[in-house]
């Protein structure tokens, strides 16, 4: 718990810093706020919240850091930032998730991974709500964790990024999972091992780990006595969650027990079935009744910008997966759609590559995609690995991309926006990119 005589330096404003400021103000704590940006987001709100707070923008005040008892670091600032690294070993450097874990009195379900974490977080939250549980959902998705804290909460379901986990010492989740791990944020981490080390902190102090049986990188060392439940896209073993084939039907299953026919799900694709299995395992781990989980799954329509159905135009179906900001997310969508649809697949991709290795994406496109429409600063990194059988179109704007895809596709085909790249070279964020795609599709005759 926060000692009344401590001084906290909140480094980085934005959503997390502002949430930390609200928490510290409620506690009557002494704190200061600093940000390297001259006009960071949340500045107006902070001044309205606490007009007397010590605030510095345009850099980090080393004298304030020297005087602070703890440094609370926003996830956008790396631990190895030179002006922060100098205090390692001298100050307690932590993040809002670490503080949240200390104060939360209800069980925590914690979810991370390169892809699918927002879908699974939302699903588990809706499963809990369907069971009548007073649940708070947030973290990297939606509400910041310190704003979730409530005496009335019976369960917390939180999505966590690797950035947030870097400064989390002991999460103590009742159930935790790394859904999958693939190259992402390689502009922040020197290699996949460093990325993996950040992610596995989600298991620190957990009671039950839900693990992807087919992704070794998503598995981590556990303390003695931690229960493990596996999920897989293959036939499940005893007490495992997986997929059971029965003729043309594919079932979500636990062991030999059929839980739900995938035909009853509104979310499509094998990758979403895997997300559903992880959600079922997490829900069971915190005693959410199966009937409530099944009901929530059947009602779930998916999240905006995540393999979202947009429209059918002239017999061609368009899907918005703008949230696929890395290769792993695009691969999951490609594999999922290739199994779920019989028509040809046309892919719109490209943007900021974030120093990713595109070779696995090249292989998937060459095997599963009939045409690839490329845009953005790193489009050529994708184009160079494609075989001549894949039709390629290079465009400068989203409306051109959709028009090019529509010209290639025929009735029964699918057009998928799954960029495998960040969006900031052309758009404000992935949401703006997805909305641009939606508008371009809707404008088609």
3-state class percentages of the chain: helix first, strand second, coil last, to nearest 5: 35, 25, 40
**Residue 91 confidence class, pLDDT cut points 50, 70, 90:** very high
Whether pLDDT at 267 is above 90 = no
| CA 73 to chain centroid | 20
| CA 355 to chain centroid | 19
**Residue 290 confidence class, pLDDT cut points 50, 70, 90:** very high
pLDDT at 389: 95
CATH superfamily, domain at 308-442: Mur ligase, C-terminal domain (3.90.190.20)
Q: Find out whether 99 and 146 touch, Cβ atoms under 8 Å.
A: yes
Residue listed under structure tokens 């999505």: 159
The span from the CA of 254 to the CA of 297, in Å, is: 15
Any idea what DSSP says for residue 389? T
- Neighbouring residues of 363: CB distance < 8 A, sequence distance ≥ 6: none
Longest C-alpha distance within the chain, in Å?
69
Whether pLDDT at 1 is above 60 = no
Start-end of CATH 3.40.1190.10 domains in the chain: 99-299
Mean pLDDT in residue range 20-48: 96
Instruction: Count Cβ atoms within 10 A of the Cβ of residue 418 and give its class: 0-12 exposed, 13-18 middle, 19 or more buried.
Output: buried
pLDDT digits (tens, 9 = 90+) for 57-77: 999 999 999 999 999 999 999
Whether pLDDT at 3 is above 80 = no
Any idea what DSSP says for residue 264? G
What's the CATH number for 7-94? 3.40.50.720
Residue listed under structure tokens 């930032």: 81
Lowest average pLDDT, out of 159-173, 268-282, 359-373, goes to 268-282
**Residue 179 confidence class, pLDDT cut points 50, 70, 90:** very high
Q: Which residues lie across from 249 on neighbouring strands? A: 246
Mean pLDDT in residue range 29-52: 96
Q: Find out whether 125 and 157 touch, Cβ atoms under 8 Å.
A: yes
Whether pLDDT at 205 is above 90 = yes
CATH superfamily, domain at 99-299: Mur-like, catalytic domain (3.40.1190.10)
Residue listed under structure tokens 């508008």: 439
Share of the chain above pLDDT 70, in %: 99
pLDDT digits (tens, 9 = 90+) for 351-366: 999 899 999 999 999 9
The span from the CA of 426 to the CA of 419, in Å, is: 12
**Residue 4 confidence class, pLDDT cut points 50, 70, 90:** low
Cα separations in angstroms, 251 against 268, 269, 373: 13, 13, 34
pLDDT digits (tens, 9 = 90+) for 133-155: 999 999 998 899 999 999 999 99
Concerning whether 258 is annotated as a catalytic residue, the answer is no
pLDDT at 171: 97
Whether pLDDT at 387 is above 90 = yes
pLDDT digits (tens, 9 = 90+) for 217-262: 999 899 999 999 999 999 999 999 999 999 889 999 999 999 999 9
Concerning whether 6 is annotated as a catalytic residue, the answer is no
Q: Find out whether 328 and 114 touch, Cβ atoms under 8 Å.
A: yes
Q: Exactly one of 117, 305, 354, 362 is catalytic; which is it?
A: 117
Cα separations in angstroms, 108 against 13, 62, 408: 25, 35, 48
Whether pLDDT at 117 is above 90 = yes
DSSP string, 169-211: S----SEEEE----S--TTTSSSHHHHHHHHGGGGTT-SEEEE
pLDDT at 252: 98
- Neighbouring residues of 293: CB distance < 8 A, sequence distance ≥ 6: 127, 130, 131, 279, 280, 283, 284
Lowest average pLDDT, out of 171-175, 324-328, 335-339, 439-443, goes to 335-339
Whether pLDDT at 120 is above 90 = yes
The span from the CA of 287 to the CA of 8, in Å, is: 37
Q: Which residues lie across from 137 on neighbouring strands? A: 157
Mean pLDDT in residue range 315-331: 93
DSSP string, 346-372: EEEE-SB-TT---HHHHHHHHHH-SEE
The span from the CA of 35 to the CA of 56, in Å, is: 7
**Residue 351, Ramachandran bin (φ over 0: left; ψ between -120 and 50: alpha; else beta):** left
Start-end of CATH 3.90.190.20 domains in the chain: 308-442
Residue listed under structure tokens 């293959």: 234
pLDDT at 433: 98
Q: Find out whether 345 and 337 touch, Cβ atoms under 8 Å.
A: yes
| CA 268 to chain centroid | 18
Start-end of CATH 3.40.50.720 domains in the chain: 7-94
H/E element holding 309? strand 308-313
The span from the CA of 435 to the CA of 103, in Å, is: 38
Q: What is the mean pLDDT of the chain?
A: 94
Dihedral sign of CA atoms 121, 124, 129, 133 in order: negative
Q: Find out whether 425 and 376 touch, Cβ atoms under 8 Å.
A: yes
Whether pLDDT at 36 is above 70 = yes
Concerning whether 39 is annotated as a catalytic residue, the answer is no
Instruction: Count Cβ atoms within 10 A of the Cβ of residue 105 and give its class: 0-12 exposed, 13-18 middle, 19 or more buried.
Output: exposed
Cα separations in angstroms, 96 against 15, 17, 146, 151, 238: 11, 8, 7, 18, 38
Q: Exactly one of 140, 212, 272, 320 is catalytic; which is it?
A: 140
Q: Exactly one of 115, 180, 185, 272 is catalytic; which is it?
A: 185
């Amino acid at each position: 718990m926060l000692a009344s005589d401590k001084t906290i330096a909140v480094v980085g404003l934005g959503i997390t810093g502002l949430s930390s400021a609200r928490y510290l103000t409620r506690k009557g704590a002494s704190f200061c706020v600093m940000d390297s940006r001259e006009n960071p987001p949340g500045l107006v709100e902070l001044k309205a919240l606490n007009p007397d707070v010590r605030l510095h923008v345009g850099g980090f005040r080393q004298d304030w850091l020297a005087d602070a008892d703890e440094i609370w670091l926003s996830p956008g600032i790396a631990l190895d930032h030179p002006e922060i690294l100098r205090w390692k070993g001298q100050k307690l450097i932590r993040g809002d998730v670490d503080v949240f874990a200390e104060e939360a009195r209800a069980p925590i379900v914690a979810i991370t991974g390169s892809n699918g974490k927002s879908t699974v977080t939302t699903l588990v939250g809706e499963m809990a709500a369907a069971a009548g549980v007073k649940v708070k959902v947030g973290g990297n998705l939606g509400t910041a964790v310190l704003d979730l804290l409530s005496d009335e909460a019976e369960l917390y379901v939180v999505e966590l990024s690797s950035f947030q986990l870097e400064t989390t010492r002991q999460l103590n989740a009742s159930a935790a999972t790394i859904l999958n791990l693939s190259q992402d944020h390689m502009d922040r981490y020197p290699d996949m091992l460093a990325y993996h080390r950040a992610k596995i902190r989600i298991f620190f102090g957990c009671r039950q780990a839900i693990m992807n049986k087919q992704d070794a990188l998503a598995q981590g060392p556990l303390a003695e006595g931690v229960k493990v439940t596996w999920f897989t896209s293959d036939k499940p073993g005893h007490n495992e969650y997986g997929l059971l084939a029965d003729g043309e039907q594919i079932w979500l299953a636990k062991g030999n027990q059929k839980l739900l026919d995938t035909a009853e799900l509104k979310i499509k694709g094998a990758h979403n079935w895997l997300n559903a299995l992880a959600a079922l395992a997490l829900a069971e781990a915190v005693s959410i009744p199966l009937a409530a989980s099944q009901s929530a799954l059947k009602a779930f329509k998916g999240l905006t910008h995540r393999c979202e159905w947009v429209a059918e135009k002239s017999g061609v179906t368009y899907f918005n997966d703008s949230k696929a900001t890395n290769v792993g997310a695009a691969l999951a969508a490609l594999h999922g759609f290739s199994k779920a649809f019989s028509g040809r697949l046309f892919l719109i991709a490209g943007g900021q590559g974030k120093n990713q290795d595109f070779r696995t994406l090249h292989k998937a496109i060459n095997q599963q995609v009939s045409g690839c429409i490329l845009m953005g600063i790193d489009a050529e990194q994708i184009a160079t690995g494609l075989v001549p059988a894949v039709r390629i179109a290079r465009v400068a704007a989203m409306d051109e991309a959709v028009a090019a895809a529509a010209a290639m596709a025929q009735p029964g085909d699918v057009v998928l926006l799954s960029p495998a790249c960040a969006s900031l070279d052309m758009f404000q964020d992935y949401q703006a990119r997805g909305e641009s795609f939606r508008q371009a599709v809707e404008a088609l005759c």
